Amino acid sequence: MFLTSIRRSAAMAVLAGIGLPVAVISSGASAQSYPTKTITLIIAFAPGGPSDTLGRITADHMSRTLGQQIVVENVGGAGGTVGTERAAKSAPDGYTLFQHHTAFPAAQSLYSNLRYDTRTAFETIGLINTGPMVLTSRKSLDVKDAKSLIGWIKEQGDKVTVGHAGVASNSHLCSLLLMQVAASKPALVPYRGTGPAMNDLVAGQIDLLCDQATTATPQVVAGAIKAYAVTSAERLPALPDVPSAKEAGLTGFDMVIWNGFYAPKGSPKPILDTLHAALQKMVDDPKVIERFAQTGTVTFPKEQRSMEAHRKLLESEIERFAVMIKATGVKQEAVK
């Protein structure tokens, strides 16, 4: 078991007093003094997107709780699978952690040659938040509502450009849904994350982007892009003028994403417990809850926040995506 913080400070004071380096107490029991150095948090997409935004909130909050800096490392590529592989192959010592979303279980069915096993590569530390996607367009697009947008996509066919963050990413899955709803094949434009895709949308370089509420909301509120629908059953309080998919008449355009926190398989249980507790402190913080609300996401109810509940959700999502993706007949990609 961990020393309580009081017992630990007392032990450290005694050791310091007799001139022994504090690290001595950690030999053979490294978890007891964890963390003693900077931690890396791998984010599997480019800077500026929703994963990066959330990763920086998490890193900042947990750094303060743990008393050690957490540095975000963006490892984008192949719909998040490049960063996932890097995280999965890191030492299971608590100094490389990983945050990922719904694309993690989806990738299992969309790639033929993943070099990690989605089911066993990570320890689940806990769920962070959940929210919908927002269907958006460049500001200059002269289309007034979702129904007209679908008509325009049908009419323009592959002249329409839709940005996404790589096969299996949320924005890619949302683009596939859009293609189904519109029964049309626009040109899909891949990026290493929706951060750069959103920059191009704001600059009018691409027509459409279906991005998470986390980063779509501030751009819509600022008037930099247009929004046509959110993929949830209800409107978002942060975007009261944007209809739900149902209100907008987009049947089947439903998608809710969730984010979780992970450590490589085999990380010591006391370290996982410390990280889980730090994560709970963050998701219970009213300031964090308020920040999430401003960008259309919510934390999970307490009963769904355990490490076991996170694992259960991950496993059920692997199954759900396997069935769904098989039914759509979408071909698997190979990670190069």
**For ligand MLT, which residue of 25, 33, 39, 51 counts as binding (CB under 6 A)?**
51
Nearer residue to ligand MLT within complex by CB, 74 or 267:
74
Query: How many CB atoms within 10 Å of residue 300?
Result: 20
Of the candidates 273, 268, 276, 272, the one whose C-alpha atom is nearest the C-alpha of residue 29 is 268
Pairing, β 122-138 against β 256-264:
antiparallel
Show contacts with ligand MLT in window 172-201 (CB under 6 A): 193-195
As a whole number of angstroms, the longest Cα–Cα distance in the chain is 79
For the bound state, the minimum distance from the C-beta of residue 157 to ligand MLT, rounded and expressed in Å, comes to: 24
Count of all residues that appear for the chain in the document: 336
Closest CB to ligand MLT: residue number: 49
Pairing, β 122-138 against β 298-299:
antiparallel
Nearer residue to ligand MLT within complex by CB, 174 or 250:
174
Show contacts with ligand MLT in window 52-91 (CB under 6 A): 52
Binding of residue 45 to ligand MLT (CB under 6 A): yes
Binding of residue 208 to ligand MLT (CB under 6 A): no
Strands (E), the chain: 39-43, 70-74, 96-101, 122-138, 161-164, 187-190, 208-212, 225-230, 256-264, 298-299
Nearer residue to ligand MLT within complex by CB, 33 or 171:
171
Binding of residue 317 to ligand MLT (CB under 6 A): no
For the bound state, the minimum distance from the C-beta of residue 198 to ligand MLT, rounded and expressed in Å, comes to: 9
What is the DSSP annotation of 249-285?
Answer: T-TT---EEEEEEEEETT--HHHHHHHHHHHHHHHT-
In this structure, which amino acid lies at residue 121?
A: A
**For ligand MLT, which residue of 50, 132, 264, 296 counts as binding (CB under 6 A)?**
50
Nearer residue to ligand MLT within complex by CB, 103 or 271:
103
Binding of residue 165 to ligand MLT (CB under 6 A): yes
**For ligand MLT, which residue of 81, 169, 219, 297 counts as binding (CB under 6 A)?**
169
For the bound state, the minimum distance from the C-beta of residue 45 to ligand MLT, rounded and expressed in Å, comes to: 3
Nearer residue to ligand MLT within complex by CB, 53 or 244:
53
Rounded to whole angstroms, the Cα distance separating 236 from 212 reads 12
Q: Is the peptide bond before 35 cis (omega within 30 degrees of 0)?
A: yes
Q: Measured at the alpha carbon of residue 145, what is the angle toward residues 143 and 149, in degrees to the nearest 5? A: 60
Binding of residue 49 to ligand MLT (CB under 6 A): yes
Residues that bind ligand MLT (CB under 6 A): 45-46, 49-52, 101, 103, 165, 169-171, 193-195, 212
